[in-house]
Structure formats: structure tokens, C-alpha cells
Amino acid sequence: LHMGHALNGSMQDALVRMNRMRGRNTLWILGTDHAGIATQAKVEQEVRAEGKTRQGLGREAFVERVWEWKEKYGSQIIEQYKRLGASCDYERERFTLDEGYVRAVHKVFKQLYDKGYIYRDNYMVNWDPGTRSAISDLEVENKDVDDFLFYIDYPIEDSDEVLTVATVRPETMIGDTAIAVNPVDERYKHLIGKHAILPLAGRRLPIHGDDDVEIGFGTGALKITPGHDIKDFEFGRKLGLPEIVVIGPDGRMNKEAGDYEGQTVAEAQKAIVEDLRAEGVLRKEEPYTHSVPFSHRSGERIEPLISLQWFCRMDELARPAMTVVEADEVDIQPDQWSRVYLNWLEEIRPWCISRQLWWGHQIPVWYCDPCNETIVAENAPERCGQCGGELRQEEDVLDTWFSSALWPFATLGWPDDTPELRAFYPTSFLTTAREILFLWVARMVMTGLEFPGDIPFRDVYVHSVIQARDGRRMSKSLGTGIDPLEEIDERGADALRFGLLAMSSTQDVRYSDAKVEQGSDLANKLYNASRLILLNAAEVEPAPRTAHVEDRWLLSRLEKTIGSVTERLEAYDFAHAVQECYAFVYNDLCDWYLEIVKPRLYEGEEDVSATLLYALERVLALLHPTMPFVTEEIWAYHPARDGHLVVHAFPEADTSLIDEDAEEDVAGAIALTRSLRAWRDMVGVPAKAVLPAVVDGIAPSEFVGRLSRFAFDGVGSQPVASVGPVRVLASEALDAEAVEARLGGRRKELRSEIDRAERKLGNEGFVAKAPVAVVEEERGKLDRYRRELKELEGG
């Protein structure tokens, strides 16, 4: 399980839990693909460590070994998902090589073959010498490599002229079969139709004219090696050139390469360059940086090779897959990824689906050698239908993604018409990393539309990439990976889930320990606040009680939070959803409400008890989708508990409890409390001193004095300062100089604010064009500042 899985799981689980709690019929199937290349390589390594080889074991025994390996390790990731708290339907776990799944794969293969989409061809593919298999375009990764560009003179037949060509791969020149120049190139057009002689090999190379040759690049003359370069291959097919292959599947020169046979590509390059130099035809060599394909699987340099492979044409499948995204039937978010998806499908090319491996779905094709028949069937045929002879099954297996592409319906029982398929297809939601968009998502859409005949999912959310702490890619080979399980051990699954959701975003982000820490802090806070509530509340039914203004305030804040968090989750805005939960629990509930009502709570007063139990129940349920463990644990102690929280109702915002007046009143009292605290801190009053004061006008709420340590029953002394309506009286705890310094500071602040507001209101454009409410607000502020300043100067 890597961090991407953990993020993905946290998002999906939040949605699944929320919807399950809402009473909806939810299904989350977890499963694994057989990861053909990676798994086979792993087991092959084991076998080699025992001094044996895959070939020595034979196909059947080797595949048996891989199954053993799979039984041993395949369940690990499932167990890890459980530790994360993913509430999947674990008894429905699926694997892409399950019996039923194989049926789906065969049926799809056969139907695509019958439609003419799947075909076999001798064509140029990305050959991975590391795995000795063809791989698809999507498994190729281009990297910049520092090479040399070699300029080689090819003599023109029956002439003293030479034609200089440039190449980065002289080792393939033995396979040259032509040269091309641009027909409008003045330097060379007289050579078109003549022949050049291939150095070292002596082959006659016809010189062709072709518009695709760039006059300005290299020397403007292009040597054509149809066996070893994709562009040359296409040239060759267009011009009907012979295709000479000089490098074998093992990455070594073959017998076509003559003297160089058996050498590795690198050795052959060195030798050939030496020989060219000896012949005096190597005109120059210069350093050259260019983009080179590497295998994403083995890391080795791709060798473009002509070989007999199975392909799937994609045009017909791609078109409807584009339409559904254009029409937003499949909604890819954030939106920019729709365009990436569409651009890719627009330029899609045939997909090489065969792999020269043993682990995977062996292609359901049988050959009859005597009568040259090819049979494609869902089930293995007994004998050749023509001659009754023995059949030989195609040895290659399918690209793992070919079977993964069927996941949304194959896991629900397709091709059978199952209740699961009817109930849950099309599915609602898929989260994915963006590197999976083409490999998997696009292909699921294509097969979904082609086979069950409907989109596989409605919403696709492309989540951010969590990078390592230093901004590099998290990768095992770089050693930058962070193990989610270690994080779970250290801080808990809830903390990790909260942290990942909080740090996720539409852009790529660095892994943030602080966010995970914030998650564990929140769990801790919830636990302690719950303890306070559950140990002190009177035995009453949880219910919202509205007799006290602070209770109305809390309930109003709570219901607004519920509404907002729910909206955020529905919009897949997980980061804001969890941060709002955090802010509510910390600020509204703990810092203010609990502190305000403590005296009432300790007395076991019923209104506050009922309100708190009610609020706690709703907060636990609201947080459960993101922090399932701690909320479930606390729930076990809640008096309203009936069964498990995981199946308790998710709260729905009760707008009748929203009370703007109460919010305004309490917000005012809170602001005053904060001003008083700030004032005494600024003036340097001992923390415990209770300061005497009197209040102008209506007395503030009881808690203002309690939480700021002021006694508003002021006796005797002179007022020395004003904080809002509060006149602070002289006392031993007050230092006159500090008070004066503080007042001076405030006066300065006010003058600057008044200046700013006056300038703004003096701007005719502002007053004339800005919305009335904005202007009015500004006037209000100016008035308040002027009044306060006047008071301070007067006092």
C-alpha cells in the first residue's frame, strides 16, 4: 500500500461511509489485478535465486509458482486497506484471474476479434529487452539522454560524390535499406533515383525524395532503417522497402549484423564507429541530447523491433468514449483533465495487447498447424474443426490492462445478467491518480460502452499527487516513499486519513506531517471533549434546547457546519470539508462553547446537557466518514447509541436551528472577551489578577468577565482605560505607564485606519461606482473609528 492508495482509499471511504449512513445502497468492491510483468519478474527472481530458470521449470510449473506467490502476498494489500479503515465489501474481493473474470476476458476478446478490431500483425513494437516482451506505448517513458550524433559519408554509386547522413544509432546502419532527402532540397535533389553504397556492408541504397524529411535537421539526408526506428519503419512500409532486423529480442546483434553478431548494442556501436573511422567515412561526431524511450517496467532502453503481435484498433472504441465525456455523462474533474483525456483519445493508435509472458490471461486463440487454421474461442476447443488435428494455443498473454479495463462490470458478474450488475452498474464514482487516466480510466469507458452498453461510472475525480516532503516524486527506487502503514502505526489511521484529505488539493502537494499531526490532535481533542461532556452531562435525552443564547449560537454554528461539510464532501472538496470540521470542533465547540457553559455543565443543568449530547452525536456522525475509528470508539459511550455509528444516520443540516441573531450576539461577546484579554496581555497584567471595571450601557454576558478575568462590579477607583464599553478601573495589578503606552498604540492605529477610510470615501469613483452596501460598510467603519478615537483622546 503506498501513499497514493491511502489517499485514494481515504476519499472513497469517506464517500462510501457518508452515503451508507444516509441509507443508500452502497457497494465498494476491492480487488487486485495480476500485474503481469511485475509479478512474473518477482517470481522469476526467486526462481533464479534457487539456481533454476523459468524455462527450466516450464510454463505450467512456473505459473503454479506464481499462484503460490500470489496466495502468499496477494492478500497483504487487502489487509492494509483494512488497517486504513476502508469499509469495503471484503467478501466480494475480486482478482483479474478469477474464474468468472477469465470468462469475461475471453468473451471480450472474441467479440472484438469477430468485429475485426483485434488482429495479428507483423509490426513495429516497443520491445523491452529487460522483460523480453513487447509493451504498449503507455508503458514507455521518454527520458533525455546525452548521446553523440555521428555524421557518416555514404558514397554515391558511380560517382565521386558522398552523401553525409547523421545518426545517433550507427549500430543499426547495417540494417539501412534506403536514404531519403527532401525533393526541394537544392543540395540533394539531383541524387534522387541514384544509389548510395552503405559503408561496411556494401549494400546499394536507393535515394528517395520525401516531403517528410526536414531540410534543416542534421545534414538534411535521412538514412532509413525500417527494422529499428519507428519513423523509418513507416517510411519503409510506404516505399515498400525491405525490413532488415539486426538486433535480436535479447538486445544483442544477430546474424544479419555479420561480424558484429553477439555483441551488445553498446559494444556494436563502439566497434562500428571504430570501423567507420578506419575507413575514413566518419566525418564528425558531436554531443547530442535527445529524448529516448525506456521501459517503465524494467527500466531498460526500448528497442523498436518488428515482431508478430496482437493488436486492437482503437478508433471505433474511442469515439463513443469521447462523446460521453464531451456530454458530461462521464464527468471528469477537475475539468482540465477532460481535455487531456479527449486529446489522448483523439490521437489514439492501435494498442499492442500481446505480451511474451506466462503469467496472465493466455490469449484465447488456437492454431492448427497442418491446415493453418486460427480459431478464436471463449472456451478451449477440443480439436481443429477442419482436419480434426491437434491444436496449439497462442503462447502470449494479454496486457494486464486489457483485463483491468473490464473491472467495473466483470466484478459484478458480467457477462451474466446478475442482480449486482443491475443494481450497481453504472457505478457512481471513481477516484484516480492521473497516470491512470489513459491506462485504465479511458479503457474502462471504452469497454463499458462496448459491452454492457453503458458508461462504467458517472464521476471521475482526478486527485492530486502527494509528493515527498522535499518535493520530489515519492518513489521506492529514489528512496523517497513514505509508508502509510508506518504513519498509521505512529499516528493512527484517523490521523493519516484526516491529514491526507486535508493536504489534498487540485494541485500537487508535498506530504505534510503537520496535517497528519493536525488529524491526531483533532482525534485527541474529540476524545477529551467527549470525556468532559459524557462524564458531566445530566441523564437527559439528547435534544437541541434553545432557552439560552449561547446554546442557540452553538446549534446554529453546528447546523451551518453540517450543511457546509456535506456540500464539500459531495463536491469532492475533501480538504475544505475536514478543515471545517476541525475549525468547528476546536474553535466553536471547545474554545468557546465548552468554556462558556462549564459552570452550567458542572451543575448538571439539563438544557446544556441535552444540547451537548445532541451536538456530540451529530459531530461524531459528521466526522465518522473521515475519522471512523475514534468516532466509533466514542460513540460506544454515548447514551443515544443504538448499534454502531457506521450504520447510524448521517446528520442533515437542520436549518430551523440557524439563528443569526444569536450568532451576532455571541460573536459580539466573544469579540469583547478577546479584546479584553488582548488588552490585559498587552498591558502586562498578571495572569491570575481579576481586574475591576464597570460597563457602560447593557451588561455583557456573564462569561465575558469570567473568561477575561474582569469583575464588572467595579468599586471605587478611577477609570484608566476603555475597551469597548468596558471602563477599566485603577488597581494594584495595573501599571500606569504600560496602560498609557497601550493607549498610545491604539490611538495611532485608529488614526491610520481613519486616514485609510477617509481617502477611500474621498475617491469619487468609489462612491459613485462601488455597490451601495460596500460604500455603506466603509462609512460605518469610519464612524466607529472616529468615535473610539474621540473617546480615547477625551479619556
Q: Which is nearer to RNA, 264 or 536 (CB)?
A: 536
Other Cβ atoms within 10 Å of 529 Cβ, number: 20
The 8-class DSSP code of residue 301 comes to B
For residues 61-100, which are near RNA according to CB under 7 A?
none
Residue 16 binds RNA (CB under 7 A):
no
Of 506, 546, 564, 717, the one binding RNA by CB under 7 A: 506
Determine the Cα–Cα distance for residues 3 and 497; give it in Å rounded to an integer: 11
Query: Which one of the spans 26-34, 57-65, 199-207, 670-678 is the region binding RNA (CB under 7 A)?
Result: 670-678
Task: Residue 524: name the closest of 611, 617, 532 by CA.
Answer: 532
For residues 553-572, which are near RNA according to CB under 7 A?
none
Q: Which residues does residue 728 pair with via DSSP β-bridges, in sequence order?
A: 693, 721
For residues 343-402, which are near RNA according to CB under 7 A?
343-344, 347
Determine the Cα–Cα distance for residues 348 and 320; give it in Å rounded to an integer: 13
Contact call for residues 431 and 11 (beta carbons, < 8 A): yes
Residue 346 beta carbon to RNA: minimum distance, rounded to whole angstroms: 10
Query: 104 Cβ partners below 8 Å, 6+ apart?
Result: 406, 409, 410, 414, 415
Q: Which is nearer to RNA, 410 or 670 (CB)?
A: 670
Binding-site size, RNA (CB under 7 A): 82
Residue 792 binds RNA (CB under 7 A):
no
Residue 476 binds RNA (CB under 7 A):
no
Residue 535 beta carbon to RNA: minimum distance, rounded to whole angstroms: 7
Residue 750 beta carbon to RNA: minimum distance, rounded to whole angstroms: 10
Contact call for residues 282 and 150 (beta carbons, < 8 A): yes
Of 215, 485, 646, 689, the one binding RNA by CB under 7 A: 215
Burial category of 416 from C-beta neighbours within 10 Å (exposed 0-12, middle 13-18, buried 19 and up): exposed
Helix (H, G, I), strand (E, B) or coil at 13: helix
For residues 157-186, which are near RNA according to CB under 7 A?
165-169
For 53, left (φ over 0), alpha (ψ -120 to 50), or beta?
beta
At 616, phi and psi to the nearest 5? Answer: -65, -45
Q: Which is nearer to RNA, 14 or 630 (CB)?
A: 630
Determine the Cα–Cα distance for residues 181 and 216; give it in Å rounded to an integer: 11
Residue 256 beta carbon to RNA: minimum distance, rounded to whole angstroms: 19
Residue 176 beta carbon to RNA: minimum distance, rounded to whole angstroms: 10
Angle subtended by helix axes 484-491 and 513-536, to nearest 10? 30
Residue 595 beta carbon to RNA: minimum distance, rounded to whole angstroms: 6
Q: Which is nearer to RNA, 75 or 289 (CB)?
A: 289
Helix (H) or strand (E) holding 776: helix 772-794
Determine the Cα–Cα distance for residues 611 and 554; give it in Å rounded to an integer: 9
Residue 237 beta carbon to RNA: minimum distance, rounded to whole angstroms: 11
Binding mask 266-295 for RNA (x = CB under 7 A): ------------------------xx----
Residue 118 beta carbon to RNA: minimum distance, rounded to whole angstroms: 21
Q: Which is nearer to RNA, 138 or 196 (CB)?
A: 138
Residue 255 beta carbon to RNA: minimum distance, rounded to whole angstroms: 24
For residues 221-240, which are near RNA according to CB under 7 A?
222-223, 229-231, 234
Q: Which is nearer to RNA, 302 or 455 (CB)?
A: 302
Length of the chain: 795
Residue 486 beta carbon to RNA: minimum distance, rounded to whole angstroms: 18
Residue 102 binds RNA (CB under 7 A):
no
Q: Which is nearer to RNA, 302 or 695 (CB)?
A: 302
Determine the Cα–Cα distance for residues 725 and 698; give it in Å rounded to an integer: 9
The CA-to-CA distance between both ends of the chain, in Å, stands at: 67
Residue 630 binds RNA (CB under 7 A):
no
| Residue 14 one-letter amino acid | A
Of 162, 646, 770, 789, the one binding RNA by CB under 7 A: 770
C-alpha cell of 709? 478575568
Of 259, 508, 740, 776, the one binding RNA by CB under 7 A: 508
Determine the Cα–Cα distance for residues 324 and 338; give it in Å rounded to an integer: 11
Residue 246 binds RNA (CB under 7 A):
no
Binding mask 510-539 for RNA (x = CB under 7 A): x-x-xx-xx-xx--xx--xx-xx-------
For residues 431-450, which are near RNA according to CB under 7 A?
434-435, 438
Determine the Cα–Cα distance for residues 286 and 150; give it in Å rounded to an integer: 7
Contact call for residues 65 and 39 (beta carbons, < 8 A): no
Q: Which is nearer to RNA, 49 or 535 (CB)?
A: 535
Determine the Cα–Cα distance for residues 662 and 544; give it in Å rounded to an integer: 14
Residue 505 binds RNA (CB under 7 A):
yes
Task: Residue 185: name the closest of 154, 166, 205, 211 by CA.
Answer: 211
Residue 219 binds RNA (CB under 7 A):
yes
Other Cβ atoms within 10 Å of 26 Cβ, number: 17
Q: Which is nearer to RNA, 363 or 575 (CB)?
A: 575
Residue 110 binds RNA (CB under 7 A):
no
Residue 776 binds RNA (CB under 7 A):
no
Helix (H, G, I), strand (E, B) or coil at 213: coil
Task: Residue 364: name the closest of 375, 353, 351 by CA.
Answer: 375
If you write DSSP's letter for every residue of 97-136 in order, what string do you get?
TSHHHHHHHHHHHHHHHHTT-EEEEEEEEEEETTTTEEE-
Of 79, 681, 702, 791, the one binding RNA by CB under 7 A: 681
Residue 490 binds RNA (CB under 7 A):
no
Residue 80 beta carbon to RNA: minimum distance, rounded to whole angstroms: 24
Residue 324 beta carbon to RNA: minimum distance, rounded to whole angstroms: 21
- Sign of the Cα torsion 692, 696, 698, 703 reads negative
Residue 505 beta carbon to RNA: minimum distance, rounded to whole angstroms: 3
Angle subtended by helix axes 484-491 and 493-503, to nearest 10? 120
For residues 128-157, which are near RNA according to CB under 7 A?
137-138, 141-142
Q: Which is nearer to RNA, 304 or 452 (CB)?
A: 304
Residue 706 beta carbon to RNA: minimum distance, rounded to whole angstroms: 11
Query: Which one of the spans 318-326, 391-399, 504-512, 715-723 is the region binding RNA (CB under 7 A)?
Result: 504-512
Of 256, 261, 632, 753, the one binding RNA by CB under 7 A: 753
Write the secondary structure of 516-538 as one string of H (helix), E (strand) and C (coil): HHHHHHHHHHHHHHHHHHHHHCC
Contact call for residues 20 and 26 (beta carbons, < 8 A): yes
Residue 300 binds RNA (CB under 7 A):
no
For residues 579-608, which are near RNA according to CB under 7 A?
579, 586, 590-591, 594-595, 598
In Å, how far are 619, 761, 777, 787 from 758, measured between CA atoms?
45, 5, 13, 14
Of 190, 217, 571, 637, the one binding RNA by CB under 7 A: 217
C-alpha cell of 184? 526541394
Q: Which is nearer to RNA, 58 or 334 (CB)?
A: 334
Determine the Cα–Cα distance for residues 579 and 562; give it in Å rounded to an integer: 13
Residue 192 binds RNA (CB under 7 A):
no
Residue 662 binds RNA (CB under 7 A):
no
Q: Which is nearer to RNA, 390 or 755 (CB)?
A: 755
Residue 341 beta carbon to RNA: minimum distance, rounded to whole angstroms: 10
C-alpha cell of 118? 483485434
